[in-house]
Structure 1
Amino acid sequence: MSTVLLIEDEPALGMIVRDSLEVRGFTVLYASEGNEGLALFRQHQPDIVVADVMMPQMDGFTLAEHIRQDDPDVPIMFLTARSQTADVVRGFELGGNDYLKKPFSLDELIVRINALLRRKPTSQPTTTALLPIGHYQFDPSKQKLMLGGQTVLLSHREAELLRRLYEQRNQVLERSVVLTELWGDDSFFNGRSLDVFITKLRRHLREDTQIQIINIRGIGYKLIV
């Protein structure tokens, strides 16, 4: 059965969630704060991370940044009472895969965990070559976009989106496909989040005026190089 790393600084809630997961057959690693959670992640390499956002010492967003440096694929779910759009978008931008607002149903939590685990890739192709995008060089494995002596470090989701656009360059990358693969579903909110990431990639690539990311209304996006 799958191993869940649970990081939650409210002891009562942490115990309830841990017990509920263990009853359903999950192996649960529990930490009460971010630094401890990161150490457990690096030691045990769990199948999924479920982390509170607001924690002492290291918050959930910072934890996610560290985890994404080690593992670009492990699913990360945030638990939080914060529901402002900016917070949610930031969580996805840092590599989060799902966002559950407190208070939540334990049944819903478990359904979402199982959904994320089903989407987790069993193997990930390793890309070591630099990909030419106009005058830029793109390193998908290190999430770096380079032009001359300048390097931009992309977020996990920016790099994955750019990789897909590159693989489909001069063709349409379907919006519904990329939303399902990177966000989990093609809901309206996730669509807005995708639009934010497209805008960021356009900004990163603006030094080469020959490069365009075109919006194909109602269908998707096309990278023209």
Structure 2
Amino acid sequence: MVSPLRSIRIVKIEERPRDAWVDMSLRQLREGEVRFYRVDDPLTGEWLFKVCPDREMDRTMVKALKCPPGRAFTQLEGSTMLFQRAPEVEGKYYDVISVSYIDEDGRLRRNVVESVDEIPPILRENFEVKTYEEATGKRAPGKRLVALCRERDERAMITLFLLERAWPVSELTPEAGLNTRKVLNLIRELEKAETSEVYREAERRYGLPRGSIDKILDLLERDGKILRLGETYLKTKR
């Protein structure tokens, strides 16, 4: 089976040799190179990220500048994730794993994981996980497990942001997300498609139940990729 991570498209759209950002963990205004990435994630939608590598401090900050619409994702706009050098693992950066969830009042919260069982399987299967002590050589209250990536792999850092912050609060499962582009291509293939025909073909070709198709269509409409023509027809917008 194709990994859902392969369906995430991360494209660098701008690079600034000199810019500035605020590092809240240091309470400082930092300066250096900055890059911007546009991300198309079939599971959650379209994102814009700012990545700020701080070579002097051996850390990189990833910030979500623009998020997909929706109550959960709106609360991630402006959120950051910090990656720091792992002294005990050569050439790797780490982040302390914390997973988003929505509380009973609809507010987005984060839970710092304490055991491997609390880590989303998709993260465990695709990234190296170690204890904080194994990665840094020291202990710190509230820091249990970390995810590792290559120190300059900014696409991996963005992917970890999605896996920890966004995917846990998505309405779609990773498996359903894999089918988002398939359904979009199906609608494009059918041109001005009858909704009933999309249901029929998506079920026949991909084995999708109607409930999953509805969620995918809602996501595609929300992201401006399809247009509903009354209750009968669908067409792609771009």
**TM-score, scaled to structure 2:** 0.26
Write 1 or 2 for the structure with the bigger share of strand. Answer: 2
> Greater CA radius of gyration, 1 or 2?
2
**TM-score, scaled to structure 1:** 0.28
Write 1 or 2 for the structure with the bigger share of helix. Answer: 1
